[in-house]
Structure 1
Amino acid sequence: MLPLLLASSSAYRRELLTRLRLPFTSASPDLDEQRLPDEPAIALVKRLAQQKAEALTAAHPGHLIIGSDQVAVLGEQILGKPHTFERAREQLLAASGQQVTFLTGLALLNSSSGHCQVDCVPFTVVMRELSQASIERYLRAEQPYDCAGSFKAEGLGASLFQSTHGSDATSLIGLPLIRLVDMLLEEGVQVP
């Protein structure tokens, strides 16, 4: 089996990948993650997932490189990482009582053969009606400023949801393990 490399500095993605009980290392790709003009959200996350994997091929020949990227979509608006309390509050106020779809792009690149599998795994949540006070309490407790749409689903963010819908709950956190196992199997990797 080729060594696995996670092209990410995300602690959330590293924690998810450990669930597969496969040895891996991680490295952060240096990448401009800006959206292209008029780029649809699905195309954006698939492109960035693949580019993250490709960015590490020269430094890591002979690896299976996993790239992933995520955005939250509210109506026609893409919600990225808020980075600030104020932006996070705006995102959550807008999402209150609404349906938000998380799109997670996933790429598995064999840096030996150049074979790259790319997919997008959607996961939808219906938000509770949120008061400004409850949003501010959540933000102070979780500080989800590095999470798409200001949702930290692996923590208190789950309390913001009325319901969830999707085939792979791990995609909500940023690394769809069910789809990743399919990709690894295609590369001949047996997951315990």
Structure 2
Amino acid sequence: MRTLVLSSTSVFRKAILEKLNLPFICDKPNIDEAPLAGETPEQLVERLAVSKARKVADNHPDALIIGSDQVAVHQGDILGKPGNEKNAIAQLMRFSGDHVTFLTSLCLYDSASKNYEVIVEPFSVYFRELTLQQVSSYVEAEQPLNCAGSFKSEGLGVCLFERLQGDDPNTLIGLPLIRLTKLLANQGIDVLASQP
């Protein structure tokens, strides 16, 4: 099997990709992730997934490279990582009784041929009506300060939700595995048949 490279140093994406039980290496893309003028959230994440994959392609001349990016969107606004408790609390209170859509892009880039496929997968999180005390307690307990949307769905953050809507729960954490297995199959890699 060809070398598989995850163009990311995200511990979350690495843990998700490990679920496929395939050998892979990680490489840090080091790109500017700032949005371009007039760029929609969908265009932003698609461009960044392709850019991340291309960035590490020179280091891996005959590999399949996985690039991915994610933004959270609420009422048309792109949400950043909160960075501190005050911002996290403010974000979560804003979401109370409403929903946030996460757009996660996925690019599978063939560094030998320079061909690639890219998709953007939506996943929506519907929040319960939340009190300031609930939100403050949650933020203090889980410290989701480096997470888009100010929560960790794989942890205590699930208690914030009314329901989830999407095809693949891995998408919410940062890497749509169902779609990735299809992109790998397009490259001749059957994940189930490739198990050690």
TM-score normalised by the chain length of structure 1: 0.97
Q: Write the letter of the residue equivalent to 2:36.
A: L
Give 3-state SS (helix, strand or coil) of 2:34's partner: coil
1:30-72 Cα shifts (integer Å, max 9, x gaps): 0111111221111111111111111101111111110111111
Aligned to 1:71: 71
Find the aligned partners of 1:38 and 1:89 in 2 and give their Cα distance.
29
Aligned to 1:136: 136
Aligned to 1:95: 95
1:87-145 Cα shifts (integer Å, max 9, x gaps): 21121111111011111011110101111111000011110111111111111221112
The answer for unaligned runs of 5 or more in structure 2 is: none
Aligned residues: 192
* TM-fit CA distance, 1:174: 0.4
Are 1:122 and 2:122 an aligned pair?
Answer: yes
Aligned to 1:172: 172
Find the aligned partners of 1:176 and 1:146 in 2 and give their Cα distance.
20
Q: Write the letter of the residue equivalent to 1:170.
A: N
Aligned to 1:85: 85
Alignment of 1:177-192 (within 5 A): 177-192=177-192
Find the aligned partners of 2:136 and 2:28 in 1 and give their Cα distance.
31
Q: Write the letter of the residue equivalent to 2:109.
A: L
Aligned to 2:105: 105
TM-score normalised by the chain length of structure 2: 0.95
Find the aligned partners of 1:145 and 1:7 in 2 and give their Cα distance.
23
Find the aligned partners of 2:143 and 2:28 in 1 and give their Cα distance.
22
Find the aligned partners of 2:151 and 2:43 in 1 and give their Cα distance.
22
Are 1:36 and 2:36 an aligned pair?
Answer: yes
Aligned to 1:159: 159
* TM-fit CA distance, 1:187: 0.8
Find the aligned partners of 1:4 and 1:96 in 2 and give their Cα distance.
40
Find the aligned partners of 2:64 and 2:142 in 1 and give their Cα distance.
33
* TM-fit CA distance, 1:151: 2.1
Are 1:50 and 2:50 an aligned pair?
Answer: yes
Identity of aligned residues (%): 48
Find the aligned partners of 2:140 and 2:65 in 1 and give their Cα distance.
35
Relative to structure 2, which stretch is displaced further, 81-90 or 115-124?
81-90
Q: Write the letter of the residue equivalent to 2:87.
A: R
Find the aligned partners of 2:57 and 2:123 in 1 and give their Cα distance.
29
Q: Write the letter of the residue equivalent to 1:38.
A: G
